[in-house]
Amino acid sequence: MKTIINPPYTDWAEYCERPSFPAEDLEEKVAAVLEEVRLEGDKALKKLTLAFDKVEVENIKVSAMEIEKAGSEVSDDLKEAIAVAAGNIRIFHSAQQVKEPSVETMTGIKCWRKSVAIEKVGLYIPGGSAPLFSTVLMLGIPAMIAGCGKIVLCTPPDKNGNINPAVLYTASFLGINEIYKVGGAQAVAALAFGTKTVPKVDKIFGPGNQYVTKAKELVQKNGIAIDLPAGPSEVLVIADSTADADFVASDLLSQAEHGPDSQVVLVSDSVELVEKVKIALNEQLSVLPRASVAEKALENSFSVVLNSITECIDFSNLYAPEHLILAIEKAEEFADQIQNAGSVFLGNYSCESAGDYASGTNHTLPTNGYARNYSGVSLDSFVKKITFQNISKSGLQKIGRSIEVMAEAEQLLAHKNAVSIRLKKIQDEK
Ligand SMILES: NC(=O)c1ccc[n+]([C@@H]2O[C@H](COP(=O)([O-])OP(=O)(O)OC[C@H]3O[C@@H](n4cnc5c(N)ncnc54)[C@H](O)[C@@H]3O)[C@@H](O)[C@H]2O)c1
Ligand SMILES: N[C@H](CO)Cc1c[nH]c[nH+]1
Ligand SMILES: [Zn+2]
């Protein structure tokens, strides 16, 4: 991991560019997958699963028996941990159910807003390099709280054509039993267009690799909503000289082990701390099973030394990380200065993996700088907000003239007339 000492401000933006290793002709390849699934449905899903996941899948839909069997394959210890995590995620996301205010903008003009669940949602659970059953919790729980009518889940099969038992167990623990063995761009296509087996949904959720992310981007053009661009995991740690170098290294590695395309960044006002973290990284890497993946990610990662913690925060706001850790003294006092980040972890004991699994916040977060303009998944992601208004006769008498004048100025006389005929009727009734 290279260290950059005091780069001039004019160079900062360059460091904030994420490394990208797009597959050759990514967009064309993904567009071709989408088209094949749109035209050939299940036949294409089976063909593409054989091509990309190297396995022949006879039944795309997971059977009730497979789900039941998975329950017996998950240890009690893991079941208990999943229940603890689910409890916290449920508490945090339930608290997002806010009572919408109803206001009278003028006497006789009542306006209000209501959250209504998106009817059919498709959850994508990554499974290429690791089956992320924790993502089932992160997407399934808010979908259930929101009251989505149909919740279906897609995830790639393993080399034997099975779905990881923890993924199946977690889904069924939440009451989600419609699960399909399909991953990558083909899963997104199936959810977007529908096939004989996989239903078409209104909105597609979930993180994934470049094929999944590109497919989500492309199906948006066909009127399918998506949650957010959630690509390769990343973390930026701001650490001062009081930080524990071992803790900082452990947090950097926790995101580096996601994939070779992940990026981790250390920003500090202390050269000594950066040097200590580098030593700790090497020590911890040597015992990591996924060391080779993490090492690749570290090659595309860096540390920056700046003059002050305020400058470090300015850098982070420009970088807009998916996860931001403030391993600094009095971290809470700096929280209000954070403008761009997916999720923030304050203090030495708020490790990022707590948010990945169990503290309650959602781990489906914007990457690649999208934290500048996107939020992570929340309860809001699963609802749309419908506005209502109820205008009385006296209310229309108050606001009517303003509407007529504005409509006339836009030369939309039918708009004006919709008010005028009502005002006339009110007048005639007197
Ligand atoms: N931002 C977030 O919120 C968040 C959360 C969790 C995970 N992630 C990220 O999600 C990603 C998960 O990626 P993954 O690969 O492990 O799983 P994945 O499920 O996203 O992708 C696996 C699928 O990709 C398809 N695929 C693989 N190679 C292909 C090829 N050459 N051509 C066409 N399709 C191909 C296959 O169909 C396979 O099933 C990681 O980058 C991880 O960092 C992000
Ligand atoms: N860090 C990932 C989000 O970027 C989420 C995750 C799932 N499992 C472990 N981590
Ligand atoms: Zn993680």
Consult the annotation and say whether 410 binds a ligand.
Answer: yes
- The dotted CATH code for 26-71+117-230 is 3.40.50.1980
State residue 188's pLDDT score. Answer: 98
Consult the annotation and say whether 124 binds a ligand.
Answer: yes
State residue 405's pLDDT score. Answer: 98
> Would residue 323 show up in a list of annotated catalytic residues for this protein?
yes
Q: Which residue owns the Cα nearest ligand 2 atom 4? A: 233
Measure 150 CA to ligand 3 centroid, in angstroms.
28
Strand order across the 150-155 sheet: 179-181, 150-155, 120-124, 203-205, 225-226
**Ligand 2 close to Cβ of residue 233 (< 6 A):** yes
Q: Which of 155, 160, 157 is nearest to 133 (CA)?
A: 155
Same fold, 2-18+232-360 and 26-71+117-230: yes
Contacts of 4 (CB under 8 A, 6+ apart): 15, 302, 303, 304, 305
**Ligand 1 close to Cβ of residue 156 (< 6 A):** yes
DSSP 8-state class, residue 181: E
Q: Which two tokens stand for residue 178?
A: 């419609």
Consult the annotation and say whether 258 binds a ligand.
Answer: yes
**Start-to-end Cα distance in the chain:** 81
* Domain locations in the chain as residue ranges: 2-18+232-360, 26-71+117-230, 392-429
> Would residue 257 show up in a list of annotated catalytic residues for this protein?
no
**Ligand 2 close to Cβ of residue 356 (< 6 A):** yes
Measured distance CA(21)–CA(260) in Å, rounded: 10
Residue 230 CA: nearest ligand 2 atom is 4
Residue 186 CA: nearest ligand 1 atom is 37
Are the C-beta atoms of 286 and 306 separated by less than 8 Å? Answer: no
392-429 is classed in which CATH architecture? Up-down Bundle (1.20)
Measure 157 CA to ligand 1 centroid, in angstroms.
12
Mean pLDDT by 10 residues, the chain (430 residues): 96 95 94 98 98 97 97 98 98 95 97 97 94 97 98 97 97 98 98 98 96 96 93 96 98 96 97 98 95 96 98 98 98 97 98 98 97 98 97 98 98 98 96
Measured distance CA(320)–CA(336) in Å, rounded: 15
Measured distance CA(278)–CA(294) in Å, rounded: 14
Of the listed 36, 323, 363, 404, which one is catalytic? 323
Strand partners, 112: 102, 388
Helices (H), 323-412: 352-357, 393-409
Strand partners, 154: 124, 180
State residue 113's pLDDT score. Answer: 96
362 φ, ψ to 5°? -90, 140
ipTM over 0.90? The verdict is: yes
Question: Of the CATH numbers 3.40.50.1980, 3.40.50.720, 3.40.50.300, 3.20.20.70, which one belongs to the domain with range 2-18+232-360?
Answer: 3.40.50.1980
Helices (H), 95-209: 133-146, 165-174, 184-193
Ligand 2 probe mutation, 125, 134, 377, most atoms within 8 A of CB: 134
pTM: 0.96
State residue 248's pLDDT score. Answer: 98
Residue 373's CB: how many other CB atoms inside 10 A?
Answer: 10
Consult the annotation and say whether 186 binds a ligand.
Answer: yes
Are the C-beta atoms of 26 and 210 separated by less than 8 Å? Answer: yes
Are the C-beta atoms of 129 and 81 separated by less than 8 Å? Answer: no
State residue 222's pLDDT score. Answer: 85
Measured distance CA(230)–CA(378) in Å, rounded: 14
